[in-house]
Structure 1
Amino acid sequence: MNTALAETPCMRATDIVWRDLLTLSLGEKFWETTLSLPWLLGALWAYHEGHIVIGLACSFYLFLTGLRQSHGAQHYSLGWPRVVQDVVLYTLSVVMLASMHAVQVSHMHHHRHCLKENDTEGATARLPWWQAIMMGPVFLFTMHRTAWRLGTAVKRRWIVAELCGIASVILLALWTPELHALRWHVGVMLAGECLTGFFAVWIVHHGCEAEGTIARTQRGPWINWLSYSMFFHAEHHLFPQVPTCHLKRIAERLDHARHAVAAKQVIPLRDLWKAPPAGKHRTRHPRCSAHSGFFGIL
């Protein structure tokens, strides 16, 4: 996306300094580029050894960290030359079993038309949560179809190459029964791709509006640590060029400037302990204040 600062009437942050956060150190570049590798190796090892539960846990974080890496490469914010980041997208496509250049085309369109009628990626945000899950396979197909329609000739060549690589991995898993670890990996990744409409879109955009607050965010160090900072989504839409590892600092600057970006949170734990509406009374347990502090830490 060429626009560095994306704004809506209710999400303006022109007073926030952000250009100093664009540059990554060499260590940050390697961190962002290899983020999913330990989880991939852990998942394959666990499946090979028959530790299915451990393998599924590793696959979950493989998918999460892969989304983060892909997202950064889609915006060319990993700090490497563009061709290197295109190779990162290709590699993640073969690992995660969806064309990441197709996702890139769709995602850039999403930024330009966020939550509007022609926003294919954001379409599931308008559905009930269960429909967003059920529409997962359709969402995956529609996103690839839209990317093919909108993509340039270069992007289309990348998409074809990635789909060929994906087909090769799937065929290898089907034709080589002894590679049961690969079969588990393929099955879990395909299931994950069918859930992206819910986990990657609905969770961070539901209840939002195209002309208002277009995305949710998250406060609390533990949730953001466990989610690899993937819930700083409102901050990302405001500053799409800022690398994911620096979005926490953007959030701190927004909060310091008293911007209302954090009004809608992905996991609104603090809302559980808000005061009841006027005219209603709720008996509070003596330890509620402690609970409130606990949820603030999360």
Structure 2
Amino acid sequence: MNHLELIRQVEWKDLKKLSVKEMLIENNISLPWLFISLILAYHGYYGIALPFSGFYFLTALRQVHNGFHNSLGTGKLLTWLSLYLNSILMMASIHAVKFNHIRHHKFCLSEEDYEGKSASMKWYEAILYGPQHMFLIHWITLKKANTVYVKNMMVELLSIAVFISVVFYFQIHFLMYHLLIMLFGELLMAFFAVWTVHHDTHENPNVARTQRGFWKNKLTFSMFYHMEHHLFPAVPTIKLPELAERIDKTLPELHKKQTF
């Protein structure tokens, strides 16, 4: 059964709408983790701050990912602002990531899918590929994107450069810590955001890997419901657990490859 047949059998359009509470959660989910990590780092507790920094990176990725698909429940300006601010805090042009991610959905695991290159690698190759992946995302945006994407990318990269310069010039140690951890996170994106959810799925790329298990999905903020996301990219992350239940109920025979 291909992904188009799957889509026709599952009710999903009602899940696109967010309540006010859900909208506030999706737009602010990263902030508690950011503030806690920065406060701990400011006081020199870098080891304790580390898991909170990791959760910030994950939840910020969830936030901008919803922004890619216009699923934050806000207008264009606030969505753009979310992508811009998280670009500075996450150490990468999020509009460049968006451009490649939209292409990833369109050309999933084909030659034109530059985001998905690491899916065909071994796990350790995907980790080592991280720096090249980060460079390629920006380079492909420069070469293939329209002027709006390129302009947004350049504004974000310039803002990142200014932020880095200020932080290191004034020796703001807790922000130096944050920037280094975010850079480390970006270098692992090819593994965590691509390989884990797409390896060994080339026979039907749009039926990506997924994750079941209450605590696994709670600890990963529902980011590994990737099969559900590829089939229904307009559904906000906060609604993916409900979507997964509908898929399991409607198509119990569907083979689901687990992420971990």
TM category, shorter: over 0.9
Percentage of pairs with the same residue: 40
Q: Secondary structure at the match of 2:7?
A: coil
Q: Kindly indicate whether residue 210 of structure 2 is the aligned counterpart of residue 217 of structure 1.
A: yes
Q: Kindly indicate whether residue 198 of structure 2 is the aligned counterpart of residue 205 of structure 1.
A: yes
Alignment match, 2:65: 71
Letter aligned with residue 23 of structure 1: K
Classify 1:25/1:9 alpha carbon distance in 2 versus 1 (closer, same or farther; 3 Å).
Answer: closer
Classify 1:54/1:262 alpha carbon distance in 2 versus 1 (closer, same or farther; 3 Å).
Answer: farther
State the number of aligned residues.
260
Classify 1:169/1:262 alpha carbon distance in 2 versus 1 (closer, same or farther; 3 Å).
Answer: farther
Q: Provide the TM-score with structure 1 as the length reference.
A: 0.84
Separation in structure 1 between the aligned mates of residue 41 and residue 254 of structure 2, nearest angstrom? 41
Of the candidates 223, 237, 241, which is equivalent to residue 234 of structure 2?
241
Look at both structures and tell me which one has the larger radius of gyration over its CA atoms: 1
Q: What's the CA shift for 1:9? A: 5.6
Of the candidates 98, 107, 111, which is equivalent to residue 113 of structure 1?
107
Separation in structure 2 between the aligned mates of residue 260 and residue 114 of structure 1, nearest angstrom? 24
Separation in structure 2 between the aligned mates of residue 126 and residue 25 of structure 1, nearest angstrom? 39
Q: Provide the TM-score with structure 2 as the length reference.
A: 0.96
Q: What's the CA shift for 1:143? A: 0.9
Q: Kindly indicate whether residue 28 of structure 2 is the aligned counterpart of residue 30 of structure 1.
A: no
Classify 1:262/1:162 alpha carbon distance in 2 versus 1 (closer, same or farther; 3 Å).
Answer: farther
Alignment match, 1:44: 38
Q: Secondary structure at the match of 1:263?
A: coil
Supply the RMSD in Å over aligned alpha carbons. Answer: 1.6
Within 5 Å, which residues of 2 pair with 1:1-298?
8=2, 12-177=6-171, 179-209=172-202, 211=204, 214-261=207-254, 263-267=256-260
Q: What's the CA shift for 1:171? A: 1.0
* Structure 1 stretches lacking a partner, 5+ long: 1-6, 268-298
Separation in structure 2 between the aligned mates of residue 22 and residue 87 of structure 1, nearest angstrom? 21
Separation in structure 1 between the aligned mates of residue 58 and residue 116 of structure 2, nearest angstrom? 19
The answer to whether the 8 Å contact 1:230/1:244 transfers is yes
Separation in structure 2 between the aligned mates of residue 212 and residue 122 of structure 1, nearest angstrom? 10
Letter aligned with residue 198 of structure 1: F
Separation in structure 2 between the aligned mates of residue 220 and residue 189 of structure 1, nearest angstrom? 28
Q: Secondary structure at the match of 1:111?
A: helix
Letter aligned with residue 109 of structure 2: L
Letter aligned with residue 232 of structure 2: F
Letter aligned with residue 235 of structure 1: E
Higher helix residue share: 2
Separation in structure 1 between the aligned mates of residue 160 and residue 235 of structure 2, nearest angstrom? 30
